[in-house]
Every structure is written in C-alpha cells, then in structure tokens.
Amino acid sequence: MTALVVADASPLIAFQQIGRLQLLRAVFGELIVPPSVIREILASVPPEPWIVARALTQPVVPLVLRANLGAGQSEALSLAMEIGAERLLVDERAARRVAGTLGLRVVGTLGVLLAAKRKGLIVELRPLLDQLLHQGFWIAPRLVKQALITAGEGGSP
C-alpha cells in the first residue's frame, strides 16, 4: 500500500517546468490533490492517472482559513488533515508553518529531489536545482546550499 500524499500546485508545476514530473510518481506513487489544485495546474501539468483529484468532505479547517493562504494551499492542508495523509507536498513557507501547527509532515520540492537522489532516480541534484532557479522557482540560497551539502555535492550555489 502506498502512503497517502496530498500535493499543492507549486511542486507539481515546478517538476513539470523542468521536465521531471515523473520523479514525483517515482518517489510517491500516487498524489492526491484537491479541486483548487487541479484548477491551478490545469494549464501547465498534463492529466496523469497517478494525480488523483479528491474533493473535501469537510469544511476547510478554521486555523487554515485564518492563515490567509491561497485556495490550493488551504484545500491541500485541509484535505491532508481530513484523510490522515502521511505527507503534504508544499513549498510555501506560510503553508508549511500552518501544516506544522496541524501536526502534518511536510516535504517540498527540494525534499523530493533529495529523496530521488537517495533512491538513485537522479545522479546529481545541482543540474535540476539550476533548472528550477532558471525557470524562476525561488529557493532561499541557504536552502540550496544545505540541499547540495546533504546530497554530497558541496555547498556553493
């Protein structure tokens, strides 16, 4: 049985932009996304059978509403709570902070790339990080350095 992983739009779009959407499938198997995320990714991410839409059956969690997040992030957080997801795939700091408050385990784009390298799905992290940065995906320089050190590729950006 695969783990329940709920995804926000940002990581899906990021991996599609660098031509590595299938890495998400290789790392997680199936990703569950709420309707708002489907609407956000529709123009840039092709439909894939392993990206499964699931509507919320409960209202958005009040703490999430108060956090003033985007619709996709709010629904992804609430859906992860509702279905007892093992992980929430999200990049934005505010959403990660709320997820931590709710007790959700979070992984972001960098975490997926590190997992892919650990599993032997990619040889080097740096070229993919460079592609993400070139596409306009913002990553704090300290996180880039930390990821490269963790991947055994030095720490200079």
Q: Please report the pLDDT score of residue 65 as a whole number.
A: 83
**Cα–Cα distance, 146 to 119 (Å, whole number):** 19
**Cβ(26)–Cβ(117) under 8 Å?**
no
Give me the phi and psi of 5, to 5 degrees please. -125, 125
Sheet strand arrangement including 5-7: 51-53, 31-33, 5-7, 87-89, 106-107
| Residue linked to tokens 């609430």 | 78
Would you state the pLDDT for residue 155? 62
What is the amino acid identity at position 5? V
Give residue 82's pLDDT: 94
Percent of the chain clearing pLDDT 90 (strictly above): 73
Burial of residue 154 (CB within 10 Å: 0-12, 13-18, 19+) is exposed
Picking from 137, 74, 75, 134, the residue whose alpha carbon sits closest to that of residue 110 is 137
Q: Would you state the pLDDT for residue 117?
A: 95
- Residue 118: predicted pLDDT: 93
> In this predicted structure, what is the pLDDT of residue 5?
97
The amino acid at residue 88 is L
Residue 1, pLDDT score: 46
Contact residues for 17 (Cβ-Cβ < 8 A; gap 6+): 44, 131, 132, 135, 137
pTM of the model: 0.91
pLDDT at 119: 94
- In the chain, the domains with their CATH numbers are 5-109 (3.40.50.1010)
**Low-confidence residues of the chain: pLDDT under 50:** 1
